[in-house]
Amino acid sequence: MSKIIIGLVGETGSGKDTFCKCFKKTFKQTFCFRFSQPLTEALEIFFNEIKKQDQQWLATVLRARFGNNILGEAIKRKIGNIKNGIIILNGLRAWEEYKMIKKLGGKIIYITAVSKTRWQRVKKRGEKKDDKISYEKFLKMEKSKTEILIPKIGQKADFRIENNGSKIDFYKKCKKIPIPENL
């Protein structure tokens, strides 16, 4: 068995976590890491509930101080000891993260959906304290410094998945991503 790296880029609520769940069901040796996980871990030291706005702020501050690949470097440390399987790096948002995944031999998948659908998904899942916001506020948050490169990076992706339909349809699209047979 070999190591395969997949980078996921996509707007909030597009289906990146669902993609990870699909791959975990299909391939036993699947490891999923979010670029936002180091941010969440840091914020959880201080707060019981995490807001996307706080993650965006912390990412901006860390990138300004330590460089745009600070979250990529944190992820590289987390995946360093994995020798075999599929490693999914979920939520890349900077060109440096894109370049890191490509340098590691990875493929980039852009998962996208129309904004109204994504907003409804985010409201329904209630993962973060500020998920139940108005559609207007959702659109405003998408213009944040941490979010604006997503469509541009998505244009350079190796694969693109439109996720505007049902979960079953999305799973079918996910399973069409070419993965070597020996996994």
**Residue whose structure tokens are 């490693």:** 87
pLDDT band at 1 (very low <50, low <70, confident <90, very high): low
Give the per-residue pLDDT at 134. Answer: 84
Rounded CA-CA distance 77/80 in Å is: 5
What average pLDDT does this structure show over 48-72? 91
Give the per-residue pLDDT at 53. Answer: 87
User: Selecting from 3.40.50.1010, 3.50.50.60, 3.40.50.300, 3.90.180.10, what CATH number does the domain 3-174 have?
Assistant: 3.40.50.300
pLDDT band at 28 (very low <50, low <70, confident <90, very high): confident
Rounded CA-CA distance 131/8 in Å is: 21
Q: Where are the domains of the chain?
A: 3-174
Collapse the DSSP code of 102 into the 3-class scheme (helix H, G, I; strand E, B; otherwise coil) and give the result: helix
Give the per-residue pLDDT at 122. Answer: 85
Cα–Cα distance list, 126 to 37, 50, 142 (Å): 17, 11, 17
In this prediction the pTM is: 0.88
- How large a percentage of the chain has pLDDT more than 70? 95
72-112 pLDDT, tens digit per residue, is 899 988 888 898 999 999 999 999 999 999 999 999 999 99
166-183 pLDDT, tens digit per residue, is 999 999 999 899 886 544
Please say if the pLDDT value at position 149 is more than 90: yes
101-139 pLDDT, tens digit per residue, is 999 999 999 999 999 999 988 888 777 766 678 889 888
